[in-house]
Amino acid sequence: MSQQRTGPTDGPDFPDLPEATVARLPEYLRALHHLAEEGHDTVSSEGLAAAAGVNSAKLRKDLSHLGRTGTRGVGYDVTLLIDQIEQVLGLTHRRAVALVGVGNLGHALAGYAGFGSRGFRIAALFDADHGRVGEHINGLVVRHIDDLPEVVDEESISIAVIATPAHAAQNVADRLVAAGVTSVLNFAPCVLNVPEGVDVRKVDLAIELQILSFHEHRKSALTALPGRAGQDLQRADRLGAEAVGS
């Protein structure tokens, strides 16, 4: 991994990063801020990889996309690398975010302390329920969803979080896009249809658990223990037979 790459570019102006690299940059950023707070000026790729929970070869490859960032034998300059990653992620100014849906989850998100310190400001809260409009949450007043276009314009909002029930989410997404929002973080358990140029990321809490369930199931199948694991193993045997024989 000693070659020093300059990243391929998407046009002359912007590095065209693999999506998986983009997803890991915030992890590196968090680890770097932590190192800076502890007084470190430089960090080795091994040290940064361990702090971010990835392997160091993957980290070096990811950072190579940003250009020449490390010095052999010295490592990465912590402050410089923070600046580079924040520039790529567009975190050099704090972004205003709208949150739609102030049920249990919306309340939790509105009060999530992690946003402010990581480049974001919840600038507006919306709900379709007139009973909730006017409620104060963390210093913000809940507005009616009909006020969306006006507020998105006033606050220069381009990112929105949808925390509504699934049945309401597509309509909310349509209204957000019509108001000018171009990135959506969707907590509703459904697929959103959005026009080209609008980015959606989805957090589905049940899906995360289902992925863990797969790993539980696999571990049970591979470890032939008495009791529950034994039953899972029998089930996996049948499954294996079907997968090969059907």
- Give yes or no for residue 46 binding its own copies (CB under 8 A): no
Least Å distance, CB 143 to its own copies, is: 20
Q: Is 101 annotated as a binding residue?
A: yes
Task: Count residues near its own copies (CB under 8 A).
Answer: 91
Contact 160, 124 (CB under 8 A): no
- Give yes or no for residue 13 binding its own copies (CB under 8 A): yes
- Give yes or no for residue 40 binding its own copies (CB under 8 A): no
Integer CA distances (angstroms), 63 to 14, 45, 54, 153, 177, in order: 15, 10, 13, 36, 33
Helix %, strand %, coil % for the chain, to 5?
50, 15, 35
Q: Is 133 annotated as a binding residue?
A: no
Q: State which residue, 111 or 146, has the beta carbon closest to its own copies.
A: 111
Q: Is 197 annotated as a binding residue?
A: no
Distance separating alpha carbons of residues 86 and 241, to the nearest angstrom: 50
Least Å distance, CB 87 to its own copies, is: 5
- Between 98 and 117, how does the x/- string for binding to its own copies read (CB under 8 A)? -----xxx-xxx-xx-xx--
Could you say which of 1, 23, 74, 178 contacts its own copies (CB under 8 A)?
23
Q: State which residue, 18 or 134, has the beta carbon closest to its own copies.
A: 18
- Give yes or no for residue 79 binding its own copies (CB under 8 A): no
Give backbone dihedrals phi and psi of 200, rounded to 5 degrees, phi first: -125, 130
Structure tokens at 147: 């006020």
| Residues within window 175-214 making contact with its own copies, judged by CB under 8 A | 182-185, 189, 191, 197, 199, 201, 203-214
Query: Residue 15 forms beta bridges with which residues?
Result: 9
Least Å distance, CB 179 to its own copies, is: 15
Could you say which of 71, 74, 171, 218 contacts its own copies (CB under 8 A)?
218
Distance separating alpha carbons of residues 160 and 168, to the nearest angstrom: 15
Q: Which residues contact 112 (CB under 8 A, 6 or more apart)?
A: none
Distance separating alpha carbons of residues 192 and 57, to the nearest angstrom: 35
Annotated binding site: 101-106
Annotated binding site for NAD(+): 101-106
